Structures are given as structure tokens and as C-alpha cells.
Amino acid sequence: MDVISVIRTKRDRGELSPEQIDWVIDAYTRGVVADEQMSALAMAILLNGMNRAEIKRWTAAMIASGERMNFDSLSRPTADKHSTGGVGDKITLPLAPLVAACGAAVPQLSGRGLGHTGGTLDKLESIPGWRALLSNEEMLHVLDTTGAVICAAGDGLAPADKKLYALRDVTGTVEAIPLIASSIMSKKIAEGTGSLVLDVKVGTGAFMKNIEDARELASTMVALGTDSGVKTIALLTDMSTPLGLTAGNALEIRESVEVLAGGGPSDVVELTLALAREMLDAAGIKDADPAKALADGSAMDVWRRMIAAQGGDPDAALPVAREQHVVTAPSSGVLTRLDAYGVGVGAWRLGAGRARKEDPVQAGAGIELHAKPGDTVVAGQPLMTLHTDTPEKFEYALASLEGTYDIAPAGTEFSATPIVLDRIA
């Protein structure tokens, strides 16, 4: 095998053979194939695509580059969830303990934020003492004793994906659907979960801007999971408007705890319950009621045990940014649009996110929303509050919020977009 022939095959719209795929993934992981060569292949895949057989083999090769986890020792069925990322997407935080409270084990391997989308691990690290990095033995112990664990993937899990992901991020090939699907599913299959629910976001604040691309990505991932023996379903969900009323790390933790306490914004509660029901059904648990587990406090109990088991203090005060700036409504009427992407970029610029994986984040930074589309607003009332430790960032963040919302005259009819747009199984 040689890498030039592999690149030429895909450049010329050919189908990569199983042997070519196995070789190039292994050789790249070992450093035999250089970054610039894999960049050329990734660009050829972006431009010319892959068929189902190629994507399946590519995913299998990435799984084979590292270890596979096993949860057969657990007494509960396992169910996991993955979101393709959005703004204010804090759903994992209440969802994992909720599903655990209903009888499933939830091994949630999560990531950090990059750009305008937040990262679950960054949010949880705003809780004093909480640890994202666990050994496989520690992860299994937390999962066995609490029912849920949220942590970082170990270095041994699909190392080929870790290396390729970093390369795609700097070569303009992130958008390649075969590479997105294989990246997500190689980690989830190697993780060893018995069932998986995918939350594929659609809209301005999502990776997939239109429902056709989102449906293609979801269908590809469902096929990969099914082919590997993992019961997999996907929900396409709206990300044209931020989820909930917060975008930022500690801000989203606070809102998630409100949901676990039986309150919280209605859209966060609705999507949390929809995903919980899908996860429980996929795990074969038919008689549990996740709405009841939120109401009776059992999901909150799991949350507290899970946070404590990973070194965190569930009663500790969360960080608060030193500076705030309030954005007010310029006119009275009905708020008809609030663009998720603009809010996400604003929160990122305030310090809630990072441009590079090694950049630090501010725990208290972000944006708090005081109105959502459909609400009536009055001129001068607060629309959103910006939080940061570095007030010189306000001007930069405000620039990203220009043109992100519309206010129509009072009495204008407003029709909300459903949160769940489609289901693929």
C-alpha cells in the first residue's frame, strides 16, 4: 500500500477498498502517513463522499486503532446519548441522572466546547472539585454505584479519531458527513454502550444548517450503529433558537439543576423528557416514567451522587462573572426571532468558549436570556445579560449580537417551531 494511490482513488471518485481503508487509518495513527497527506485524503472525501460500505469500514478501522470498553458486568442495561452540538445545549446534564433514576446505566463520554458550541465537560468543571478525567476502572465504579457517569474519553478509545479530528479542524474538512459520522460513532461503538440515542441539531446554531443534511448525517450514524449491533435511533431537533435561557458554563449548570428540581425552561424540560423516553425504550425499560422521576426528586438524588463520586461538591456555590452588561429591547412588541448562532458566538467571545482546544474558558462567562421568541417585550426591558470577568470583551461580544433578534409590532401572530423535527430509526 502507498498513500498516494489511496488519495488518487478518492480524488478520482473511486471507492476505497477495505484494505486501503484499514491500511491508511493504521498508518496515519502510527505516523507513517503525514498530516498533509491525510489532509488531502480528507478533502477528497469531503468533495466526493463515501458510500455506506466505505463509511462502515472507515469507522471499524478507527475503532480497531484502540481499545473497546465493556459493561457486561453491570446489572443494568446501558443507554447513551450524543448531541451534535448547539447553543445552550445543556441537555446531557439533567438527562444522564434522569435516565439512571429510571433504571438504565448511562456511560456518557462527553467533550469540550470549540467555537460557538458549548462543551459538557467545560460546564461541569465549573463545579468545585469535579473531575472529568477518570480511569476505566473509576468510570465503571461511578457507573456501577450511581447509575450515571459523565467524563472525558480516555486516550485509548479510538486514537485514530482523536488525531484525525484535530487535523480536520484546521484543514476545512470538518463538514464532511462521512467523517463526522465515523468520528462520532467510532467513539460511541468503542465505548461499549448497548443502545444509543442521537440528538442531531438543525438550524443556525447547529453544525447542520438544513434538515436535508441533518437527515443524511442521522441516517448514516443510525446505519453505522445498527450494523455494529448497537440499537441506535436519532431525533432531529431545532437549534435555530438557543435552548433554555442560558449559554455559558456555570450559567447552564444552574439552569440544569433547576430542571432536576422540577422547574426550568419548558423547552429544556421537553427535550430532556423526549430523549429520556427514547433512551429508556432503546434499553428495553418500558414501565418507567421520567416525568415522575423529575417531579419526585429521584433524578436530583442521582445527580448529587454522580457529582460527588467524581470529586465535586453539589452544594458548592457556582462561579459568578465579575462584570455584567444588560442589552435592552429597542422597541415594544413580540420577539419573533433570536438567532442561536449569534448568541453562541457572543457567549464564546465573552470567554465561555475557546478558539483552540488548549485555550482556557471562564466558568462564569456567558449570556443569560430574559425573553424567547413568542414573548411580548416592552421598550427598555432587559433582553439579555452578558457575563464576563473581562469587560473589554463586551464590545466584541455585542458586535456578534447585532441583527440576531427581531421584534414585530404588538399583536403579531407567532408560530413556534417544534423542538423535535423528525425521528430516524
Catalytic residue among 56, 82, 112, 231: 82
Q: Is 126:363 a contact under the CB 8 Å cutoff?
A: yes
For the domain 323-408, what is the CATH code? Answer: 3.90.1170.30
Catalytic residue among 183, 186, 195, 240: 183
Q: What is the pLDDT of residue 354?
A: 82
Give the 3-state secondary structure of residue 82: strand
The answer for residues whose C-beta is within 8 angstroms of residue 376's C-beta and 6 or more apart is 333, 334, 335, 410
Catalytic residue among 168, 231, 277, 304: 168
Domain boundaries, the chain: 3-49, 80-157+190-309, 323-408
Q: How many CB atoms lie within 10 A of CB 325?
A: 16
What average pLDDT does the structure give for the chain?
Answer: 95
Q: What is the pLDDT of residue 95?
A: 98
Q: How many CB atoms lie within 10 A of CB 7?
A: 20
Closest CA relative to residue 257, chosen from 274, 269, 241: 269
Q: Is 247:366 a contact under the CB 8 Å cutoff?
A: yes
The answer for residues whose C-beta is within 8 angstroms of residue 256's C-beta and 6 or more apart is 90, 93, 94, 264, 268
Catalytic residue among 80, 122, 161, 238: 161
Q: Say whether 370 is catalytic.
A: no
Separation of alpha carbons 351 and 342, rounded Å: 15
Q: pLDDT tens digits, residue range 50-61?
A: 999 999 999 999
Q: How confident is the model at residue 223 (pLDDT cuts 50, 70, 90)?
A: very high
Give just the sign of the alpha carbon dihedral 271, 274, 280, 283: negative
Q: pLDDT tens digits, residue range 115-125?
A: 788 899 999 99
pLDDT at 357 over 80: no
Q: Say whether 183 is catalytic.
A: yes
Q: Is 419:267 a contact under the CB 8 Å cutoff?
A: yes
Separation of alpha carbons 298 and 254, rounded Å: 18
Q: Is 145:307 a contact under the CB 8 Å cutoff?
A: no
N-terminal to C-terminal alpha carbon distance within the chain? 37
| % of residues, the chain, pLDDT over 90 | 91
User: Which CA distances in Å does 307 have to 146, 261, 386?
Assistant: 10, 15, 27
Q: pLDDT tens digits, residue range 88-137?
A: 999 999 999 999 999 999 999 998 877 788 899 999 999 999 999 999 99
pLDDT at 341 over 80: yes
Closest CA relative to residue 62, chosen from 175, 165, 207: 165
Q: Does domain 3-49 have CATH number 3.60.21.10?
A: no
Q: What is the pLDDT of residue 324?
A: 98
The answer for residues whose C-beta is within 8 angstroms of residue 414's C-beta and 6 or more apart is 334, 336, 373, 374, 408
Q: What is the pLDDT of residue 356?
A: 73
Q: Say whether 187 is catalytic.
A: yes
Q: How confident is the model at residue 169 (pLDDT cuts 50, 70, 90)?
A: confident
| % of residues, the chain, pLDDT over 70 | 100
Catalytic residue among 57, 112, 162, 187: 187
Separation of alpha carbons 281 and 200, rounded Å: 18
Q: Is 238:91 a contact under the CB 8 Å cutoff?
A: no
pLDDT at 174 over 90: no
Q: Say whether 168 is catalytic.
A: yes
* CATH domain 80-157+190-309 topology: Pyrimidine Nucleoside Phosphorylase; Chain A, domain 2 (3.40.1030)
Q: What is the mean pLDDT of residues 64-73?
A: 93
**What does pTM read for this prediction?**
0.94
